[in-house]
Amino acid sequence: MTFAALQGDLDERAAEGLLRQRRTLQTPQSPHIIVDGKPYLAFSSNDYLGLANHPQLIQALQQGAATWGVGAGAAHLVNGHFTPHHELEQSLAAFVGKPAALLFSTGFMANLGVVQALVGKDDTVYADKLNHASLNDAMLLSRASMQRYRHGDMSHLESLLAKQHGGRKLVVTDAVFSMDGDIAPLPELLALCEKHDAWLLVDDAHGFGVLGQQGRGSLSHSGLDSPRIILMGTLGKAAGVSGAFVAAEQVVVDSLVNNAHSYVYTTASPPALAVALLESLTLIEQGDAMRAHLQRLIAKLRAGLSDLPWQLMPSDTAIQPLLVGDNKQALTLSEGLRARGIWVAAIRPPTVPQRTARLRITLSAAHTESDVQRLIEALHALAC
């Protein structure tokens, strides 16, 4: 048996300050959480609009359960596809301006499904080096040839695209990079895809609901609309619930229904979640005031943290990472904040590149200006 080897690996991780542990929340998601009996002001969730515990969504979920029960009971292609799923797909497609949309249980599964369904061993996938882990795993699963380009480096991507011949080409990118907060150069990516006849898969996990007109996401933010773009949006972050969708041309969606294993061979998510998500979509559409408040918080945080020994990474989004570098120093800083009643997660390799450990500060429309002020003051106190 290899228990000793497993323990050895864990001990090694611990020695490098890389052991991961979970903390159990004793309250709903919000800026004010209780962990191990202690209250914290939290800057770590992806609940960017504060919808995860919104009374209207709670009510919608309760009503959804009363009407549709709890479990879907089957995969979508068997008899687990319900009216709320159908309505949600139609609403999502219309909202992001695509002909069709398809629901997945999670963003991770959506990425696995899209890449596996659209490319195979004779094809090539081009990926930004800082893409989300699910896109990297998706490439492996697809068995396509993998070409990774330096973060945001369009000339590197172009040189890779120019080299390859034959087969399908798929460029995959985070729209907002999950650990950096910067936005991919989507217009340049699309132009390269047009030039080299490639598809562009845009993972908008952190843009959907937050960026663009009425929160329509990163494509709206960049003013882009092309049949070549396949959009993946997640529904467990700004949308406050759970799940994901892929929006694209009808023929692409039809292909996914037939070929995406993570769609075909899994139980449909509960229809009551789709009921809650329809309500969430309405709140997102009407959420300009929430998004304006979030932008003010981002500006306040950036102004307040400009003079620290650690550098705030360049980002205009709700993800505001404070670069520390060393793994243990990042942990110490995170623990220092915790001792002051503030919760910010330290992010370490392999989630981020070596020597770029950071505090991933995320802001939410549910934060107040004085919440942000408290974080600014605590970080200054820790810098002395």
The catalytic site residues sit at 178, 206, 237
One residue of 57, 205, 253, 268 binding ligand PLP per CB under 6 A? 205
- From residue 121 to residue 160, what is the string marking binding to ligand PLP with x (rule CB under 6 A)? -----------x-x--------------------------
One residue of 180, 203, 279, 371 binding ligand PLP per CB under 6 A? 203
In Å, how far are 146, 333, 344 from 379, measured between CA atoms?
Answer: 41, 8, 11
- From residue 217 to residue 256, what is the string marking binding to ligand PLP with x (rule CB under 6 A)? -----------------x-x-------x------------
Parallel, antiparallel or unpaired: strands 124-128 and 169-174: parallel
Q: Which stretch binds ligand PLP (CB under 6 A): 201-209, 219-227, 314-322, 373-381?
A: 201-209
Residue 28 near residue 188 (C-beta atoms within 8 A): no
Answer positive or negative: Cα dihedral of 296, 298, 301, 302.
negative
Q: Which among 348, 371, 215, 352 has a CA at the least distance from the CA of 298?
A: 371
- From residue 318 to residue 357, what is the string marking binding to ligand PLP with x (rule CB under 6 A)? ----------------------------------------
Of 164-193, binders to ligand PLP (CB under 6 A) are 174, 178
**Nearest distance from C-beta of residue 41 to ligand PLP, angstroms:** 23
Which tokens go with 357? 């450990």
What is the rounded distance in angstroms from the CA atom of residue 80 to the CA atom of residue 98?
24
107 binds ligand PLP (CB under 6 A): yes
**Nearest distance from C-beta of residue 174 to ligand PLP, angstroms:** 5
Site residue total, ligand PLP (CB under 6 A): 14
Which tokens go with 340? 């002051």
Q: Can you point out the beta strands (E) in 57-123?
A: 100-104
Map tokens 């340049």 to a residue: 188
Residue 22 near residue 345 (C-beta atoms within 8 A): no
Residue 355 near residue 40 (C-beta atoms within 8 A): no
317 binds ligand PLP (CB under 6 A): no
Task: Name the residues that contact ligand PLP, by CB under 6 A.
Answer: 106-108, 111, 132, 134, 174, 178, 203, 205-206, 234, 236, 244
